Structure 1
Amino acid sequence: MGKKEGEEPEHGEPAQFDPSFNGPLKKRSCTDIICLFLFLAVILGYIALGILGKKSHLSLRDKPNLFYFDILKCATSVNVMASALNGLQCPTTQVETNGTPSPLLHSFLTDTAPSFLLRFVGLVIAMLVSMLFLLLLRFTAPVMVWLLIIGLGFCVAGIWHCYWEYDQYRLQGAKISDVGFTTNVKIYLQVQETWLAFLIIVSLGEAVILLTLIFLRTRILIAIALIQESSKAIGHMMSALFFPLFTFVLLLICVAYWSATALYPSTCPFLKNGCSFCSFQSFNSSKYQDCASARCIFITYNEEGLFQRNLFNLQIYNAIAFLWCVNFVIALGQCTLAGAFASYYWAFNKPGDIPMFPVTGSFMRSLRYHVGSLAFGALILTLVQIVRILLEYIDHKTRSAQNACARFILCCMKCCLWCLEKFIKFLNRNAYIMIAIYGKNFCVSAKNAFKLLMRNIIRVVVLDKVTDVLLFFGKLLVVGGVGVLAFFFFSGRIQAPGNSFSSQNLNYYWMPIITVVFGSYLVAQGFFSVYSMCVDTLFLCFLEDLERNDGSIQKPYYMSKNLMKILNKSNKAAK
């Protein structure tokens, strides 16, 4: 049935031309003020909670012997956040308080000094390789994408092999009915039905690739052109690559404050005598001869004060506030980068019309006008994450009493919540882009972004997959290359000229390798997250450009000449 007159189309009206629009709006007002005040109130309460926890902790100074819970037991549980929600109570009594580390831990600490310089060099190499990869994508992206597609297109050889195997076993009369059920997987590779299934699967994959090349060729070219344009944008604003360092510092502050706030109220007072050490395993050793009458007695928590009676509720508040702050910091970083890259796209003459300090300007706009909107989006994501954590906690506590039906229901619920969290992150990301450009509140921005993407759903899917493939190979290049280089250095297979470091000085050479690989992944993730945000921002701007403008003198396109060439469009020159 057709639409009634005056009724909005299913996915909204296309964006209309606005002669005054030339990039992120300068005149804007504060958005989602109610959520802003709510977020500020939670932050003030969070600060007060930290002060109360610190005050409670200082009240134990008159007790010279304290027994703290073993944090490693909590950290290695199924869910760290579930442990935080459980109150972080004293779960074990196997802690030496004399500060002597275990032999493995001691060897690891002694390996830190001689390998520190090489590990730092490895992280610097990871940073340089990541930057070089992103800057060169404008030249290598088309080659990499088409080589990958052509390589996948050589499934013909796989089809022939599957058919040959199927024909051989068919002639031998090897059927799956003769085998039945067995745990030996190799047996199933000797029946004709297995190779027939492989033949069907590979043939369908080949058909999908060929249809993609035939019908989605233009959209693949658009995705490649946007990736190249993103590489150019980053080249013109290199400061954007280092902005994740600021976000990382804020996240570290959030984690450190959450840890301190969670640990302070969870200390357990013990002993009122004068012994300096307390160990249940070695309490009768000779070093305690001067304290023969000392005893380790568990006294329990103080339940007299208001703070102690509500300890569990305060830990829940601590967890919720922590997740909200973390999600807000990530949202602030995404909105800042989106505003900077949007200012690049909507600069008609690039790079001359790009504003000075685009990252700083976008950051100040986000802080001044849109803290409430960013907090709103972060709150929605936090609520979903809290439900996921509670579900994991319930699953962990009731696992021994679950039957097959209950496990299946819990698994389905966790899967649905995981999908919901992914969708919320996707929607928030695009909503922040719209907020950075137009300065509207979160709900309006999310609605406009979602409808814009739905009007171009095929382009969205193609761009997302092409970008994911390129960034995956980029991360593999950085992490794998630096990891192999670290292995050769720390195992002593190669020696840097003039370097006094020797692998024989290390107790466990694989420990610095693991730290270098993990650090390289974090470095690559930080740089590539900037690039991914740039691609998404330029893509939304590109879709708006197509809807707003037509290439005339009054409404010229802002897209690159390469994109206009792919779409067979052009700007009319003024006479």
Structure 2
Amino acid sequence: MLEVPRTLSTTSSSACLASRTTRKANGVLEARQLAMRIFEDYTVSWYWIVIGLVIAMMMSLLFIVLLRFLAGIMVWVMIVMVILVLGYGIFHCYMEYARLRGEAGSEISLVDLGFQTDLRVYLHLRQTWMAFMIILSILEVIIILLLIFLRKRILIAIALIKEASRAVGYVMCSMLYPLVTFFLLCLCIAYWASTAVFLSTSNEAIYKIFGDITTCPVTGKTCNPETFSSSNESRLCPGAHCQFAFYGGESAYHRALLGLQIFNAFMFFWLSNFVLALGQVTLAGAFASYYWALHKPDDLPAFPLFSSFSRALRYHTGSLAFGALILAIVQIIRVMLEYLDQRLKAADNKFAKFLMTCLKCCFWCLEKFIRFLNRNAYIMIAIYGTNFCTSAKNAFFLLMRNIIRVAVLDKVTDFLFLLGKLLIVGSVGILAFFFFTHRIRIIQDTAPPLNYYWVPILTVIIGSYLIAHGFFSVYGMCVDTLFLCFLEDLERNDGSAERPYFMSSNLKKLLNKTNKKLAES
């Protein structure tokens, strides 16, 4: 075997090291230049970004106001469009089925053809279009039957959405409460990040000897930089040096750092869930005071949001902490499952992967259910002031007794919120694109010169979504609160003088309900 000279090997290693160092330096320089250009774009366009976000805020407010008048029209237009789209799908499937009549190979059945990787093969079979036509026809019939039997519940959902717009109009300061939640969440994130950084850097600095492995036998051994120059290792390796290698340690504290980081993450989940719960109870209390006012808005308290916030902190802190604790436990278990899943990816164990996937799916569903239950439990806490367990039980059974109304209201509000977010984010994003790319001739010279026009556009789009989400989260809490109050009103009151209905006149008209005292007067 031909031996490679040591000098040639050393030279080659030095060249590779120099090349890697040069590439790394060039990468750092390019990243720094990119960051400087992005910073320059922000300095010349920040006020236009603020204007775009203000436009998004005004559009969100306008959409919520319009829901008071156009909610019914928007819902029925959506339903008619779904029916028309399905009808066109049935017609298209029939036309394709008729077109393929007599073509070679179109009469082959799906069973005879079997599984094919190229899915376009199935589109040349008449049986495929027949199956599509039957499926779409069944869906069309189901939707029409649901509309026939659920039309009254859809009208109730629309009336509740309109009532929510009125409630938000009377408690306008509720729209600013997401800023309080955002500030408290920032404090939670700051606490978690500072603690995590402290734990990560609380190890001892480990120094090791760096030198040529072929000539220095103690390369990689730990050393003390203060005494290295006078030690035996420096005499054994004249060209070696003692440098920082990493942070580490062998004490009980250092071995417990992973557990401390997990506990820190658990505390972050607990605090953030508590902040969100505080916001939900505060908003629910304010909107519940609107619903249970017999003469709206005369019977509303002077400062409903502030009164609800003070009640939540004074009387319901324990219930909020308990509900947040349950959710935080599930969330930290999900984080640990993700960590274990990353560690098990290298192992070729199909059963372990299947079990991990099942566990992750189960805990994801459990977290969604607990979020839903907590949200309604907080509404009941705001209404009656009962503890968390009692409120969760009462809310769950109340919703189960009205499961069809819950499903209809949930889908209707989801559609309206999705439509609102798409409308706001899309409109502001398109406006920002045309403005920052100098395509609006009237104000073409007003737009600032940019290195990357996508920087302010992307910022405006993300900011618009967050603003719209903040507004619609308040509106969604209002709808859910009024819905639970409406169900409680139906079950506890009968319209008599002693137990009058508190619902609006539109809801009473839909349900053919009247208050006897009001009717007699």
Sort the Cα spacing of 1:496 and 1:265 in 2 relative to 1 into closer, same or farther, 3 A: farther
Shift of 1:444: 0.3
> C-alpha distance in 2, partners of 1:191/1:185?
11
Whether contact under 8 Å (1:270, 1:296) holds in the other structure is no
> C-alpha distance in 2, partners of 1:495/1:266?
54
2:88 matches 1:157: yes
Q: 2:193 pairs with 259, 262, 268, which one?
A: 259
Bigger Rg over Cα: 2
Sort the Cα spacing of 1:493 and 1:403 in 2 relative to 1 into closer, same or farther, 3 A: farther
Whether contact under 8 Å (2:49, 2:460) holds in the other structure is yes
- Paired amino acid for 1:355: P
2:169 matches 1:246: no
Shift of 1:116: 0.7
Shift of 1:461: 0.6
> C-alpha distance in 2, partners of 1:170/1:387?
57
Q: 1:234 pairs with 164, 168, 179, which one?
A: 168
- Paired amino acid for 1:428: N
Runs of 5+ in structure 1 lacking a partner? 1-93, 273-291
Show the counterpart of 1:90.
Answer: none
Q: 1:132 pairs with 62, 72, 82, which one?
A: 62
Shift of 1:307: 4.4
Q: 1:112 pairs with 42, 59, 68, which one?
A: 42
Show the counterpart of 1:341.
Answer: 287
Sort the Cα spacing of 1:159 and 1:405 in 2 relative to 1 into closer, same or farther, 3 A: farther
Write the deviation string for residues 11-48 of structure 1: whole angstroms up to 9, x where unpaired: xxxxxxxxxxxxxxxxxxxxxxxxxxxxxxxxxxxxxx
Sort the Cα spacing of 1:158 and 1:99 in 2 relative to 1 into closer, same or farther, 3 A: closer
Aligned-pair identity (%):
57
Write the deviation string for residues 42-88 of structure 1: whole angstroms up to 9, x where unpaired: xxxxxxxxxxxxxxxxxxxxxxxxxxxxxxxxxxxxxxxxxxxxxxx
Q: 1:210 pairs with 130, 139, 144, which one?
A: 144
> C-alpha distance in 2, partners of 1:497/1:100?
34
- Paired amino acid for 2:397: K
> C-alpha distance in 2, partners of 1:345/1:496?
48
Q: Give SS of 1:297's match.
A: strand
Shift of 1:388: 1.1
2:491 matches 1:547: yes
- Paired amino acid for 2:372: F
Sort the Cα spacing of 1:544 and 1:260 in 2 relative to 1 into closer, same or farther, 3 A: same
* Equivalenced residues, count: 460
Whether contact under 8 Å (1:152, 1:209) holds in the other structure is no
> C-alpha distance in 2, partners of 1:193/1:395?
43
- Paired amino acid for 1:539: F
> C-alpha distance in 2, partners of 1:197/1:393?
44
Shift of 1:413: 2.2
Show the counterpart of 2:278.
Answer: 332
> C-alpha distance in 2, partners of 1:440/1:567?
29
Q: Give SS of 1:401's match.
A: coil
Sort the Cα spacing of 1:140 and 1:559 in 2 relative to 1 into closer, same or farther, 3 A: same
> C-alpha distance in 1, partners of 2:248/2:29?
24
Shift of 1:204: 1.9
Q: How does 1:66-77 map to 2 (within 5 A)?
A: none
Q: 1:168 pairs with 93, 99, 104, which one?
A: 99
> C-alpha distance in 2, partners of 1:468/1:526?
15
Q: How does 1:301-340 map to 2 (within 5 A)?
A: 301-304=248-251, 307-340=253-286
> C-alpha distance in 1, partners of 2:261/2:498?
59
Show the counterpart of 1:470.
Answer: 416
Q: How does 1:92-491 map to 2 (within 5 A)?
A: 102-154=32-84, 155-172=86-103, 173-174=105-106, 175=108, 176=110, 179-267=113-201, 296-304=243-251, 307-491=253-437
Shift of 1:391: 1.2
Shift of 1:396: 1.3
Sort the Cα spacing of 1:516 and 1:205 in 2 relative to 1 into closer, same or farther, 3 A: same
Shift of 1:476: 0.6
Whether contact under 8 Å (1:114, 1:501) holds in the other structure is no
> C-alpha distance in 1, partners of 2:206/2:437?
48
> C-alpha distance in 2, partners of 1:402/1:250?
44
Whether contact under 8 Å (2:285, 2:383) holds in the other structure is yes
Whether contact under 8 Å (2:435, 2:447) holds in the other structure is no
Whether contact under 8 Å (1:271, 1:295) holds in the other structure is no
Q: 2:456 pairs with 489, 503, 512, which one?
A: 512
Whether contact under 8 Å (1:489, 1:495) holds in the other structure is no
Shift of 1:374: 0.4
2:474 matches 1:534: no
Shift of 1:100: 9.6
Whether contact under 8 Å (2:71, 2:162) holds in the other structure is yes
Give the aligned CA root-mean-square deviation in angstroms. Answer: 2.4
Write the deviation string for residues 87-136 of structure 1: whole angstroms up to 9, x where unpaired: xxxxxxx899x999533222212211011111111111111111111121
- Paired amino acid for 1:363: F
- Paired amino acid for 1:385: Q
> C-alpha distance in 2, partners of 1:431/1:225?
23
Runs of 5+ in structure 2 lacking a partner? 1-23, 208-238
> C-alpha distance in 2, partners of 1:357/1:95?
60
Whether contact under 8 Å (1:545, 1:557) holds in the other structure is yes
Sort the Cα spacing of 1:249 and 1:167 in 2 relative to 1 into closer, same or farther, 3 A: same
Write the deviation string for residues 492-522 of structure 1: whole angstroms up to 9, x where unpaired: 21267497433xx322111221111111111
> C-alpha distance in 2, partners of 1:139/1:418?
38
TM-score (norm 2): 0.83
Show the counterpart of 1:559.
Answer: 503
Between 1 and 2, higher relative CO (CA 8 Å, sep ≥ 6) is seen in 1
Of the structure 1 ranges 99-108 and 194-203, higher mean CA displacement relative to structure 2 is found in 99-108
Show the counterpart of 1:28.
Answer: none
- Paired amino acid for 2:130: L
> C-alpha distance in 2, partners of 1:241/1:297?
53
Sort the Cα spacing of 1:179 and 1:103 in 2 relative to 1 into closer, same or farther, 3 A: farther
> C-alpha distance in 1, partners of 2:392/2:80?
37
Shift of 1:153: 1.4
Sort the Cα spacing of 1:99 and 1:465 in 2 relative to 1 into closer, same or farther, 3 A: same
Q: Give SS of 2:248's match.
A: coil
Whether contact under 8 Å (1:341, 1:538) holds in the other structure is yes
> C-alpha distance in 2, partners of 1:100/1:179?
56
